[in-house]
């Protein structure tokens, strides 16, 4: 039985589910097809709605590469399980890795120490700020900010171009399972034909060993790891593009969000 899963939400005010991996069924009873298209708040405890909404607004406004929040997730039998979710903002979606919450576990502590910000939804309905990378807390905006962020349920603020990948964590080559469309625009990735290809086909040889070690950390502890490498566009011509990425891992796959980076 898996205690974690991947979910992708759109960046609308309702944060509707656009993808969820199969392992969600083990702990919540939901089959993926039953909740695709559902508004996220329908799957959270009513007492957590306002707090989760604040975190969602902050993630969209600040385009957070990684944040984590703990809350109560609704099961199909109308019960609730404690969950902590790592959220990576990716241009027009929020891609998340979700774990059964255990505050005493080593993996929880590893995740909490590697995300940008950590929040907890408390039983009294309040939102607790638990810590931030570099001890820097971004402002959690008040609800009225939503009026300026969304018009007709679409984000009006210009979003940084990013693309995301889901990789097969159980293959040494980390074969690509999913790639978002902006991969074509940013690094000329042929998205339809990239599915099934090894991730390392797009990494310079000099970067592979370091990336393997960093990604192994993410796989071992389901933690967040920051990466920087050159994305290979044309290996024969020696064309590459520097990118920076953030990655986290579940049993259903390794999630990676990438953006262009200045060449060092």
Residue 152 binned pLDDT confidence (cut-offs 50, 70, 90): confident
pLDDT recorded at residue 94: 96
What is the average per-residue pLDDT within 35-45? 97
Please check whether residues 138 and 42 belong to one and the same domain: yes
Q: Give how many domains the chain has, as a whole number.
A: 2
Q: List the 117-121 sheet strands across, edge first.
A: 17-20, 4-10, 93-100, 80-90, 67-74, 117-121, 127-132
Please check whether residues 127 and 222 belong to one and the same domain: no
What is the average per-residue pLDDT within 245-259? 97
Residue 171 scores a pLDDT above 50: yes
Contact yes or no for 30/75 (Cβ under 8 A)? yes
Which residues form the domain of 81?
4-155
Per-residue pLDDT tens over the stretch 93-140: 999 999 999 999 999 999 999 999 999 999 999 999 887 765 555 555
Please check whether residues 151 and 167 belong to one and the same domain: no
Question: What percent of the chain has a predicted confidence (pLDDT) above 70?
Answer: 93
Please check whether residues 221 and 143 belong to one and the same domain: no
pLDDT recorded at residue 250: 94
Q: In whole angstroms, what is the distance from residue 153 CA to residue 160 CA?
A: 19
Residue 144 binned pLDDT confidence (cut-offs 50, 70, 90): very low
Find the CATH number of the domain harbouring 251. 3.30.450.20
Please check whether residues 60 and 122 belong to one and the same domain: yes
Per-residue pLDDT tens over the stretch 180-225: 999 999 999 999 999 999 999 999 999 999 999 999 999 988 789 9
Residue 41 CA to chain centroid, in angstroms? 18
Of the three residues 100, 126, 155, the one that is the final residue of a domain is 155
What is the average per-residue pLDDT within 11-34? 95
Q: In whole angstroms, what is the distance from residue 230 CA to residue 89 CA?
A: 21
Residue 80 scores a pLDDT above 60: yes
Residue 150 binned pLDDT confidence (cut-offs 50, 70, 90): confident
Tokens of 9: 């939400």
Residue 143 scores a pLDDT above 50: no
Please check whether residues 41 and 67 belong to one and the same domain: yes
Tokens of 191: 């998205």
In 3-state terms the chain splits into helix, strand, coil percentages (rounded to 5) of 30, 35, 35
Cα Rg for the chain, rounded, in angstroms?
Answer: 18
pLDDT recorded at residue 147: 59
What is the average per-residue pLDDT within 63-86? 96
Of the three residues 115, 139, 155, the one that is the final residue of a domain is 155
Residue 264 binned pLDDT confidence (cut-offs 50, 70, 90): confident
pLDDT recorded at residue 259: 98
Question: What percent of the chain has a predicted confidence (pLDDT) above 90?
Answer: 80
Contact yes or no for 103/53 (Cβ under 8 A)? no
pLDDT recorded at residue 145: 59
Torsion of CA 80, 96, 6, 70, to 10 degrees: -20
Please check whether residues 251 and 170 belong to one and the same domain: yes
Of the three residues 133, 155, 177, the one that is the final residue of a domain is 155
Q: Within 10 Å of residue 205's Cβ, how many Cβ atoms?
A: 9
Residues 6+ apart with CB under 8 A from 230: 203, 204, 207, 240, 241, 242, 243
Please check whether residues 114 and 209 belong to one and the same domain: no
Per-residue pLDDT tens over the stretch 175-190: 999 999 999 999 999 9
Contact yes or no for 4/98 (Cβ under 8 A)? yes
């Amino acid at each position: 039985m898996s205690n974690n899963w991947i979910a992708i939400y759109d960046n609308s005010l309702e944060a509707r589910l656009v993808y969820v991996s199969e392992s969600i069924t083990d702990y919540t009873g939901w089959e993926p097809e039953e909740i695709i298209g559902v508004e996220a708040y329908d799957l959270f405890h009513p007492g957590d709605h306002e707090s989760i909404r604040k975190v969602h607004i902050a993630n969209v406004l600040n385009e957070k590469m990684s944040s984590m929040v703990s809350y109560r997730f609704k099961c199909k039998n109308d019960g609730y399980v404690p969950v902590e979710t790592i959220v990576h903002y990716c241009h027009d979606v929020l891609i998340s890795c979700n774990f059964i919450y255990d505050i005493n576990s080593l993996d929880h502590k590893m995740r909490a120490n590697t995300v940008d910000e950590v929040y907890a939804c408390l039983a009294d309905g309040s939102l607790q700020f638990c810590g931030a990378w570099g001890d820097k807390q971004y402002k959690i905006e008040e609800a009225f900010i939503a009026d300026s962020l969304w018009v007709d349920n679409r984000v009006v603020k210009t979003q940084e171009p990013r693309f995301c990948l889901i990789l097969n964590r159980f293959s040494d080559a980390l074969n690509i399972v999913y790639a978002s469309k902006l991969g074509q625009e940013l690094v000329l990735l042929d998205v339809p034909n990239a599915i099934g290809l090894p991730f390392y086909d797009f990494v310079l040889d000099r970067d592979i060993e370091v990336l393997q070690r960093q990604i192994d950390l993410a796989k071992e502890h389901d933690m967040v790891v920051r990466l920087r490498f050159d994305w290979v566009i044309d290996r024969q011509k020696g064309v590459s593009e520097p990118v920076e990425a953030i990655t986290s891992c579940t049993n259903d796959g390794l999630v990676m969000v990438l953006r262009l980076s200045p060449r060092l």
